Structure 1
Amino acid sequence: MDAALEVFTERGYSDAGLAEIAARSGIPVGSLFQHYGGKHGLYLALWEDFREEQERRTASALSCARGSGVDDPVALFIAGARAYLAGVWDNRPLCRLLAEDDGPAGFDALRRRWDRAWVRRNARLLKVDEQHRAGRVRVIVLTTVIGGAARELGDRVDESEAREIVDEVCGILTHLSVPPG
């Protein structure tokens, strides 16, 4: 997986070759193909591992916040957003790769399905009724802000600048999370 990430980030998905990934990993091409089904499968495995780690990370942050007595939906949402963005910072090369338009066929549709599920989870966390357009739109905007911040963090190299971005984004999220009225 490390070799696949290196080759994908250096060459882009389209120009990456399974033979180079195999050479860097020390695993025969046939074994990689058998296990992952080719570079498409490797790319999806990288994404799936990242997605699962991010879900674990945010669930842990929410559990910790709840364990310390936090029950305000907005405060929980912000704790989850901070954890998610910390995971982006920790995995910048992969996040840059995943943000590119150069992925395997069908990846955009897969990512959109996951994004919709992420919006639904955030709506439940924020206790927003998704049947009402205003609440649904608010959660879509909030989730989009986090996604935009993730892309911005992927391009940063300075950790203090990254922390400032996360703090600023969390302030924006806090402001936008409060329902009107």
Structure 2
Amino acid sequence: MRTSRARRAGGADGTENGGGRQWARADATRQALLDAALEVFADRGYADAGIAEIVERSGISVGSLYHHYGGKAGLYVALWEDLSAEQEAAAAQAVAAARKEGESDPIALFIAGARAYLRVCWERRDAARLFLGGEGPSGSSLMRRSRAQHWIAQNTKLLRGSSGEPPGRAEQVLSLVLTTVIGEAGREIATAENEEEASEIIEEVCRILIRLAR
């Protein structure tokens, strides 16, 4: 994403103009702050994490931190949104790829998305562990509930297939159960000892989801 931004800001000959360099610097600043915040949150927990340590690890000024994120809570929310967006994009891409290959079974499409989502839980395990732990700033519980409701709605729609009728109570409950299973599985995957163990958990979870969904 940072590369594409720089390209969009570049001159006609492909080189970066002044605006492009400013975008690149701003992106690098934000990323350094996010990387440092994730490290400190992981080491100390959100409550005990200090702005001073985040600034020290990032090498960025405290003024820049407040300019870009407004404080510790803003960093937490930005990390959360980044992980959530990556999980959602991975799931959507997996479903789209399965459809492109000719898959039309709603459950198979749902499993493709779930597998991709769970894979991100392993690939981004440091961030996933932080958020699955439940600690965070005021309002973070509401943020997580809102995201869960979004996922339930998306999964309900996917499992409904091409039917234009509104989902019944049984379908809504099924989507709730499946989404909850995926969320809890993400916690186990993020804390797996290695990639092999994580992959085994993912495949076992997918088998369980298939049985529940059918």
Question: TM-score when scaled to structure 2?
Answer: 0.81
The answer to whether residue 91 in structure 2 is matched with residue 55 in structure 1 is no
Task: Report if aligned partners of 1:123, 1:130 keep a CA contact under 8 Å in 2.
Answer: no
Q: Please give the alpha-carbon distance, in whole angstroms, between the structure 2 residues aligned to 1:50 and 1:155.
A: 16
- The alpha carbon displacement at 1:101 in A equals 2.7
Percentage of matched positions with identical amino acids: 53
The residue aligned with 2:35 is: 2
- The alpha carbon displacement at 1:130 in A equals 5.9
| Mean Cα deviation higher: 129-138 or 111-120 | 129-138
Q: Please give the alpha-carbon distance, in whole angstroms, between the structure 2 residues aligned to 1:138 and 1:50.
A: 25
- The alpha carbon displacement at 1:131 in A equals 4.6
Matched letter for residue 87 of structure 2: Q
Task: Select which of 204, 209, 214 maps to 1:168.
Answer: 204
Matches within 5 A, 1:27-176: 27-127=60-160, 131-176=167-212
The residue aligned with 2:50 is: 17
- The alpha carbon displacement at 1:132 in A equals 2.0
Is the partner of 1:16 in helix, strand or coil?
A: coil
- The alpha carbon displacement at 1:162 in A equals 1.0
Higher Rg of the two aligned structures? 2
Q: Please give the alpha-carbon distance, in whole angstroms, between the structure 1 residues aligned to 2:185 and 2:166.
A: 24
Is the partner of 2:49 in helix, strand or coil?
A: coil
Question: TM-score when scaled to structure 1?
Answer: 0.95
Stretches (4+) displaced over 4 A: 128-131
The C-alpha deviation readout for 1:110-143, integer Å capped at 9, x for no partner, is 1101100110000000007665221111100000
- The alpha carbon displacement at 1:4 in A equals 0.5
The residue aligned with 1:177 is: 213
Q: Please give the alpha-carbon distance, in whole angstroms, between the structure 1 residues aligned to 2:75 and 2:95.
A: 30
- Which runs of no fewer than 5 residues in structure 2 stay unpaired? 1-33
- The alpha carbon displacement at 1:67 in A equals 0.7
Q: Please give the alpha-carbon distance, in whole angstroms, between the structure 2 residues aligned to 1:67 and 1:131.
A: 25
- Which runs of no fewer than 5 residues in structure 1 stay unpaired? none
